[in-house]
């Protein structure tokens, strides 16, 4: 199989991009924040898991857009993602730099937040709460009845999630340095 071009629409870093490869070897490089990891993740998900991202949601997704990833070459890959699909929400500063974000999946009637991050210079300003409110709102709009998250005890995030109405329903012990993984949930 050769890849001639990759079309990525409204997936993570990309809004409406076509990457032409012209059947040659490709080296992907760029500055931090230029979309290298987003491209790798898109290719991994499409080629390995045989999924497209027609259901991918982004906090800044313009109305009436259809997110997608397509690979064109000797075989065009078109696949469908059904029962679970990823989401990502971002908050940007006045210079359009991402200063906070989260991602996860909607899966079988639940919304799971996998990562939540706020730049150290912007913590304690309510950005984490704002992102989680967006997650909960999106979960409700997607028909979810429950929100879930997992955090490690050394991260000190359990109290943050409890303030948002999460309760711990399981704690797995046995990790290094006497740490544990805490599984939390809340109703939507």
| Contact of 13 with 35, CB cutoff 8 Å | yes
Quote the pLDDT of residue 74.
62
Cα-Cα end-to-end distance for the chain: 45
Burial (0-12, 13-18, 19+ Cβ within 10 Å), 64: exposed
Higher-confidence residue of 132 and 78: namely 132
pLDDT greater than 90 at residue 15? no
Segment 7-23 shows an average pLDDT of 71
Residue-wise pLDDT for 64-82, tens only, equals 545 566 666 666 554 333 4
Report whether 38 contacts 28 (CB < 8 A): no
Could you give the domains of the chain?
1-82 (no CATH), 83-188 (3.40.630.30)
pLDDT tens-digit readout, 40-59: 766 766 665 544 444 344 44
DSSP 86-109: EEEEEEE-TTS-EEEEEEEEEETT
What pTM does this model have? 0.59
User: Residue 77 has what pLDDT?
Assistant: 52
pLDDT band at 38 (very low <50, low <70, confident <90, very high): confident
Distant-in-sequence, close-in-space partners of 124: CB < 8 Å, separation ≥ 6: none
Identify the pLDDT of residue 169. Answer: 93
pLDDT digits (tens, 9 = 90+) for 77-129: 543 334 456 788 889 888 888 999 999 888 878 999 999 999 999 999 999 99
């Amino acid at each position: 199989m050769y890849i001639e071009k990759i079309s990525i629409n409204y997936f993570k870093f990309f809004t409406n991009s076509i990457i032409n490869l012209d059947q040659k070897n490709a080296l992907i490089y760029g500055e931090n924040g230029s979309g290298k990891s987003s491209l790798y993740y898109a290719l991994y998900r499409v080629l390995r898991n045989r999924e497209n991202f027609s259901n991918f949601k982004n906090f800044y997704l313009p109305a009436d857009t259809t997110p997608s990833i397509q690979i064109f070459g000797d075989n065009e890959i078109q696949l469908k993602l059904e029962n679970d699909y990823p989401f990502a929400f971002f908050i940007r500063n006045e210079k359009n730099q991402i200063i906070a974000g989260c991602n996860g999946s909607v899966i079988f009637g639940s919304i799971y937040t996998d990562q939540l991050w706020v730049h150290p210079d912007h913590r304690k300003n309510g950005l984490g709460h704002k992102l989680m409110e967006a997650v909960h709102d999106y979960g409700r709009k997607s028909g979810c009845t429950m929100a879930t998250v997992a955090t490690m005890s050394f991260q000190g995030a359990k109290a943050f999630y409890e303030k948002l109405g999460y309760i711990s329903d399981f704690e797995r012990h046995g990790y290094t340095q006497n740490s544990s993984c805490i599984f939390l949930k809340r109703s939507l």
